[in-house]
Amino acid sequence: MMALVESELFDVALVASDKPDAPGIAWARDRGLATFALSPKGLGKAAYEGALDRALRDAGVEVIALAGYMRLLSDRFVADWRGRIVNIHPSLLPKYKGLDTHARAIAANDGVHGCSVHVVTEVLDGGAVLGQAEVPILAGDTPDTLAARVLVEEHRLYPKVLAEFVNR
């Protein structure tokens, strides 16, 4: 999220989180950005997503860029925002959808790993890939060392691809 904001390649209408104490929320507020922070605990998925949807629409959001958002969005929410939600995923999709991507790439003895920016659909990590960046897997890599190198590429790739997407 910070890399997206700092890129200044597009206007950020709202920074939202399901964790009110997330450091990124405080960081965004300190920069004068509008924020929405609501814990879904005790609300139920439909009520939480309804509140999120209202906040996004009230802020004039046109495209949702997920960054570190680890909750699965409901099919209804995705349908309501069809073609206007993008995500960064730490693998070269269609490989390694879901979690533990770095460990899985190492275990498979892949030579390269990386990240993908994709359109969010009802299928987990299944939408059209908009851009990718590769990172070599080095001898002795651990999931953590590989993740650190992939993160550098995520911060480079996501703002560029998102800017192309919102300005298309």
pLDDT at res. 52 = 98
64 Cβ contact list (under 8 Å, min separation 6): 56, 81, 84, 85, 86, 120
Record the tokens describing residue 120, joined without a space.
């969010």
Match 């814990």 to its residue by tokens: 39
Asked whether residue 154 carries a pLDDT value surpassing 90, the answer given is yes
- Look up residue 149 and give its amino acid: R
Whether 163 contacts 152, CB under 8 Å: no
pLDDT at res. 68 = 83
The Cβ of residue 65 has, within 10 Å, a number of other Cβ atoms equal to 23
Express each pLDDT in 104-127 by its tens digit.
999 999 999 999 999 999 999 999
Q: 89 catalytic, yes or no?
A: yes
The Cβ of residue 66 has, within 10 Å, a number of other Cβ atoms equal to 17
46 Cβ contact list (under 8 Å, min separation 6): 74, 76
The closest alpha carbon to 81, from 44, 119, 39, 51, belongs to 119
Express each pLDDT in 1-38 by its tens digit.
999 999 999 999 999 999 999 999 999 999 999 999 99
**Mean pLDDT confidence for 142-166:** 98
pLDDT at res. 156 = 98
124 Cβ contact list (under 8 Å, min separation 6): 72, 97, 98
CA 151, 148, 16 angle in degrees (round to 5)?
40
- What ranges in the chain are assigned the alpha helix state H? 2-7, 23-30, 45-58, 75-80, 101-107, 143-166
Express each pLDDT in 37-90 by its tens digit.
999 999 999 999 999 999 999 999 999 999 988 789 999 999 999 999 999 999
Mean pLDDT of the chain: 97
Catalytic residue among 89, 113, 118, 155: 89
